[in-house]
A = this chain, B = another copy of it.
Amino acid sequence: MRLKFRIVTSYINRGIHPTSTSTSKFRAAHDHRRNIYSTARKNPNKPSGNMPETTTLTGDKFDRQPFEALLKRRFFYTESFEIYRTAPGFKGDNRGLFDYGPPGCALQANIIDLWRKHFVLEEEMLELDCTAITPEDVFKTSGHVDKFADWMCKDPVKGEYLRADHLVENVLEARLMGDKKARGEAAKPVEVEDPANAKKKKIKVKDVGNVKLDDAMVEEYETILAKIEDCDGPDLAALIEKYDIRNPDGNGKVNPPIPFNLMFKSTIGPSAAAPVYLRPETAQGQFLNFRKLLEYNNNSMPFASASIGKSYRNEISPRSGLLRVREFLMAEVEHFVDPESGKKHARFEEIKDVKLSLLDRETQLSGKSTPKTVSIGEAVSSKMVDNETLGYFLARIQAFLLKVGVDPKKLRFRQHLANEMAHYACDCWDAELQTSYGWIECVGCADRSAYDLTVHSKRTGESLEVREHRREPLRIEEWQATLDKKKLGPKFRKDAKAVEGAVEALDQDTLESLAKELQEKAVISIPTAEMSDGKTQVELGQDLITIARNTRVETVRNYTPNVIEPSFGIGRILYSVLEQVYWHRPGDEARGILSLPIGVAPTKVLLVPLSNTSSFPPVIRKLGQRLRSIGISSRVDDSSASIGKRYSRNDELGTPLGITVDFDTLKDGSITLRERDSTKQVRASEDEVVEAVKSLVEGAETWEDVTKRLPEFLGQTGDE
C-alpha cells in the first residue's frame, strides 16, 4: 500500500484538509474545484474530537435538530420530489436535490442581487449567461471527461455502489468505535451512508461490537482516516484489501474501486449521436466567449467576466443537506490579466487596510490552526498573500460575506498548501465558514493560469490571445534565412513550396549552425517533406539561400491572459449563514430566531392586524402597497394565531421588522414598529414609521437610532 502524502498534524488532517503530494495537474486543480461546491473536504458529518463545539449567535450550544426543524417548518428548503419518495414502486433517486421554498428562494434572490451589485456592477464586470448543456468535445478539451471522477466500489451480491473513500472511512470509524467501547471510553455515533435506503443513518455505539484493537492499530487507522481524501483508486484498493474492508450492509466483499465520472450525460438532437454533458461549473462558457468579451471591452485589459447559474454534479453519495448536492447555484468571476502586469491591482489602495483572518501555509505546516489577523496590505507586502490582485479579491470576498450575514468570528481564509495546488498556480485561498459540519469551503479564490484558454485555443484553432500594441517596439535580433524566389521556382518547380516550408521550419539554433556551414562549404543540406523525386532532403547553395543575423522590430505583443477565479457556492453560503445567524430566546429552545441582516432577509416587514376586526384589512392593504411602492417587501399575517405566535413565526423567518395595526390606529393613525432581535417596539404615525423602515432598509439608520427618535411602545407587545 502506498499512501502518497506526508503527515502534518492530527488537527489539520482530521478537522480540515489533508495534504497531498499528488502531482497530477488536473486532479490538483479540479479536486480543489470539486470541493468548493459539492464535496466538503473531509467528511463533514464526522464529529472531530479536536474541533470546538459550534455555538449559536448568542453563545449557546448549537443543536442541529431544532435548527433543521425550523428550516423545514418554515419551508426554507425541502428535499425535491419528497412526495414521490414514499410512493409505491418509486425507483428513482432524489438524493442531493433540493427545492427552495418561499423564504429560501427570497433569501437566495437577495444574496444574488447583492452579489451582482457588489461584484458585477461595482467592478464593471461583464456578466454572461451561458447554457448548462455542453457538447462533449468542450469537456474533453478541458479534461473533465477523462478526470472529473470519484472512485467507487460495487458490492456484487447486494448490487450496491459505494463511494470508495467513504466506505473505508465508515468501516474504520466503526472499528475505532468498537475499540473505544471495549476500552470503556465514551464514543460518539457516526453518520454513514446506507445505500440500501438511499438515506443517511447513524452508526450507533450499540451497533458495533466490543473489539479492542492494539494501540499501534488505532494509530494506523487514525493516520489513514486523516489522509483518506487524498487516496486515489489504487490507494483505496490497497486499503480495502489490506484491512479486509467490506460493505457494512451484509458484510459482503466489494469489487476493486473504479472511477465514476461526476458529470450528467445526455444526448442532443434526434440522432442521439451527439453526446452532451451538464456543466459542473460555469467557467467554461466564460472562457469560450473570451474573444467576444475582449472585443466588448474595447480590447482593453484587464477585465473580468462573471456568471451566475446552476451547475450539476452526479455525486455518488450526496449528504450534509445543502453542502453536497447534485444541482446547485454558483456565482463565478473570471478575472483576466496580463501575466506580466496582472499581479498589481488598480483598486488595491482602497482595501489595503482591511483586516483578514488568514490561516496561512506556514501556520498549517507548523501544526497550528489559529489564523493570523493582518491587514491585506501587510499580507501582500510580507508575501504571505502572493499579489495585490489576489489580495484585492480576498478583501472583496470578505466584504461580501459580511454583508450577507456571516459572523466575522466564523470566517477564515485558508491558504492551500503547496501540494494541494495545481503546478501552475502561485497561490490559492479559500474562504471557509464555520458550521456544525466543520469549516466549510464556501468560496474558492484560485489561479487557473492560462490553462483553459490555451487548451481551447489549441483544440479549436481559434486565437484566444490578447493582441496589444507595444508602447515601445521590441527589437529582436535573430537568424533569418532568405530564399531567392526568382531562382527557386524555375529550379524546383512543384517542389518549391516544400523547400520553402522546410526553410521556414528551421529553428534559431539550426539556423546558426547552418549559417556557419553555408559560409564554410557554400552549400547546405536540409530535410524536407517527400518531394516529387522521392527524396526528403534538399541541397541549397549560396546562390539560392542566405542566412544572416538581422534585427526584427515587433510593435505588437500577443499573450494568453492568466485567470484569477473567485468562485462562490451560493447554497453553501446560504446554509452556513443560516446556521451562523440562528439563536433562540434565552431559556426557550422552541423560540428560534434567524438574525438575518435586513439587506438579505426574505421579507423586510411583517404586517399584523391585532385581531380579525373588519376595519383592519383595508389599513393593512394600504400599508403594504405603500411599502411596495418604495421597493420594500412585506408580508401580511392575518391568521387567527395570537399576536405573540405570529411574531415568533416571523422571527423564525428572519423578518427584521413588524408593524401592528390596532384599535388606536383607527383612532389616531399611529402604528407600532417592532424589531426582531430585541423585541422592542416604538409607536408613531404611519409616515414616521414608514420613514424609519425605509432608512433601516437602506442602512441609513440603526434600530438604536430609531429608538432614540421615536417613543417606545410599552403596551401589549405579544412577546411576553
Q: Which residues of B contact A288 (CB under 8 A)?
A: 80-84
For A295, the closest partner residue in chain B by CB is B75
Contacts of A130 in B (CB 8 A): 80, 99-100
A107: min CB distance to chain B, Å: 10
Interface residues of A in 271-327 (CB under 8 A from B): 271, 273-276, 278, 285, 288-289, 291-293, 295-296, 298, 300, 310, 312, 314, 316, 326-327
The answer to whether A270 touches B128, judged by C-beta atoms less than 8 angstroms apart, is no
Contacting chain B: which of A135-143, A234-242, A515-523?
Answer: A135-143
A461 interface contact, C-beta 8 A:
yes
* Docked-complex contact A78 and B133, CB < 8 angstroms: no
Contact B83 A460 (CB under 8 A): yes
With both chains docked as a complex, state the minimum distance between the C-beta of A266 and any C-beta of chain B, in angstroms: 5
A residues 231-284 touching B (CB-CB < 8 Å):
260, 264-271, 273-276, 278
**What is the CB-to-nearest-CB distance from A396 to chain B, in angstroms, rounded to a whole number?**
14
A271 & B91 in contact (Cβ 8 Å cutoff): no
Q: Mark A308-349, 1 if CB is under 8 A from B, else 0.
A: 001010101000000000110000000000000000000000
Set of chain B residues within 8 Å of A701, measured between Cβ atoms: none
Chain B residues in 8 Å Cβ range of A108? 129
> Which of B271, B300, B326 contacts A268, CB < 8 Å?
B326
Q: Assess the B270–A84 pair: CB atoms within 8 A.
A: no
Which chain B positions have C-beta within 8 A of A274?
91-93
For the complex, is A184 an interface residue (Cβ under 8 Å from B)?
no
User: Is residue A555 within 8 Å, beta carbon to beta carbon, of the partner chain?
Assistant: no
Q: Does A134 contact B (CB under 8 A)?
A: yes
Q: How far is the CA of A127 from the CA of B298 in the complex (A)?
A: 39
Chain A, 57-108, CB within 8 A of any chain B CB: 74-75, 78, 80-84, 86-88, 90-95, 97-102, 104-106, 108
A133, A152, A274, A462: which has the most chain B beta carbons within 10 Å? A133
Asked if A483 CB lies within 8 Å of chain B CBs, one says no
Asked if A199 CB lies within 8 Å of chain B CBs, one says no
Q: How far is the CA of A628 from the CA of B163 in the complex (A)?
A: 48
A264 and B268 form a contact (CB under 8 A): yes
Asked if A80 and B316 make an inter-chain contact with CB atoms under 8 angstroms apart, the answer reads no
Give the residues in chain B near A460, CB-CB below 8 Å: 83-84, 86-87, 90
- Interface-side segment among A31-39, A526-534, A629-637, A657-665: A629-637
Complex Cα spacing A269 to B117, Å: 37
Of A118-126, A381-389, A441-449, the segment with at least 4 beta carbons within 8 Å of chain B is A118-126
Tell me, in angstroms, the Cα distance from A637 to B296 when the chains sit together.
11
1/0 per residue A689-717: CB within 8 Å of B? 00000000000000000000000000000
Report 19 cross-chain contacts, Cβ distance below 8 Å, ordered by A residue. A75-B296, A82-B288, A84-B137, A84-B138, A86-B461, A86-B462, A87-B137, A87-B460, A87-B461, A97-B131, A98-B131, A99-B130, A101-B292, A117-B631, A124-B635, A132-B327, A266-B266, A269-B314, A298-B639
The 9 closest A-B pairs by CB, nearest first: A92-B135, A161-B270, A87-B460, A100-B129, A93-B274, A99-B130, A83-B462, A102-B126, A298-B639
